[in-house]
Structures are given as C-alpha cells and as structure tokens.
C-alpha cells in the first residue's frame, strides 16, 4: 500500500485514542492489516535495486508522505488532536521505514542489517500478493481506505470545532 493511506489510518487511530501506547500498538498493527488487503503499490521490491532506482523510489515515497501529512495537517491544524494523530501516522508507516533503512544500508553502504530480517520477512509474508493483477480494484480498495480515514478525521475535526 502506498504511504498516504497508512498515514491517514494511523492519524485516524491517533485522533480517536487517548493512550499513546495504544496508539503505538494499534497504528503499527494497522500497517500489517492494510498490507494484507488487495492494494496498489508503487514499490514492490526495494531491496537489491541500484542507487538511482533507490533515489527515485525515495523521492516518490517522500512526495507520498508529504501528501499524507498535508491532508492530516489540513484537517487537524490547530487541534489538540494533531499531535496524537501525527504520532499514529508515524507508527502506521514505521514498518515501511524499517524496510527503507534496510535497503538504504544495502544500496549505499553494502551493509546487511540482518537484525531487520525477521520484520522484513514477516512484512513480506503478510503482504497481499497474488498472480492476477486487478489493478483497478486495488486502486479502488486503496482509495476507499484513504477516504474512510479522511472521513473519520473530518468528523473528528467537526466534533472538536463544536466543543469550542
């Protein structure tokens, strides 16, 4: 799944839960749940790519993160829920962050961070994969997840405004 839906779902979790440990756990779990459903993704394999390919993927990922954080900021700016929402967003993309660090170490430093292998293997095993490419439906599923998270954030914003 691209990063924006992960960020939005994590932010929705953070906006609804008051305990930071619960945000951490549920947002982290949400990443794997979302990756288990059919979805579109622009990065299938980041490990083993060349330096130029890695940089191109990194730029795509940073733009993706910028979109997600911008939407979250727009919806929750000046809100007391902005901080827990951003914390939820961070932990919702953390597994992909570990994959990025693993690939970065391999591509540019030729290091093999084997301590990350169990997480990366689990992430790969849980990740939705099939031999048939239903790109249209994968994009629809991803859009539906993002739209649902935006709806939760929008509702949260309206409730906060009414309380003021």
Instruction: Give the residue ranges of DSSP H helices in the chain.
Output: 3-16, 20-36, 51-76, 82-109, 117-126, 135-163
Residue 84 vs residue 159, higher pLDDT: 84
Q: What is the pTM of this model?
A: 0.89
Query: What pLDDT, on the 0 to 100 scale, is given for residue 110?
Result: 87
CB 56 within 8 A of CB 137: no
Which tens digits make up the pLDDT trace of 124-137? 888 776 655 677 88
3-state secondary structure of 15: helix
Residue whose C-alpha is closest to residue 68's, from 128, 161, 16, 145 = 145
Query: What pLDDT, on the 0 to 100 scale, is given for residue 164?
Result: 61
Which tens digits make up the pLDDT trace of 4-44? 999 999 999 999 998 999 999 999 999 999 998 888 776 65
Tokens 């939760």 — which residue? 152
Residues 61-90, mean pLDDT to the nearest whole number: 94
Which tens digits make up the pLDDT trace of 40-73? 776 656 656 777 888 888 899 999 999 999 999 9
3-state secondary structure of 163: helix
| Residue 160 in this model has a pLDDT that exceeds 90 | no
Enter the tokens of residue 12.
């929705």
Residues 71-81, mean pLDDT to the nearest whole number: 91
Q: How far is it, in rounded angstroms, from Cα 95 to Cα 116?
A: 10
133: left (phi over 0), alpha (psi -120 to 50) or beta: beta
Query: What pLDDT, on the 0 to 100 scale, is given for residue 47?
Result: 58
Question: In whole angstroms, how far apart are CA 87 and each of 69, 70, 84, 97, 149?
Answer: 11, 14, 5, 14, 15
């Amino acid at each position: 799944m691209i990063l924006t839906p992960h960020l939005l779902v994590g932010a929705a979790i953070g906006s609804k839960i008051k305990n930071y440990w619960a945000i951490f756990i549920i947002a982290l779990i949400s990443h794997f749940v979302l990756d288990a459903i059919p979805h579109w993704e622009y990065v299938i394999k980041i490990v083993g790519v060349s330096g130029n390919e890695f940089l191109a993927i990194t730029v795509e990922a940073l733009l993706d993160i910028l979109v997600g954080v911008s939407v979250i900021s727009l919806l929750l700016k000046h809100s007391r829920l902005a901080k827990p929402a951003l914390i939820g967003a961070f932990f919702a993309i953390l597994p992909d962050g570990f994959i990025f660090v693993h690939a970065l170490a391999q591509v540019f430093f030729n290091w093999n961070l084997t301590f990350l292998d169990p997480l990366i293997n689990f992430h790969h095993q849980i990740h939705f994969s099939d031999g048939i490419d239903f790109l249209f439906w994968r994009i629809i599923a991803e859009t539906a997840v993002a739209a649902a998270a935006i709806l939760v954030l929008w509702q949260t914003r309206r409730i906060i405004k009414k309380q003021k």
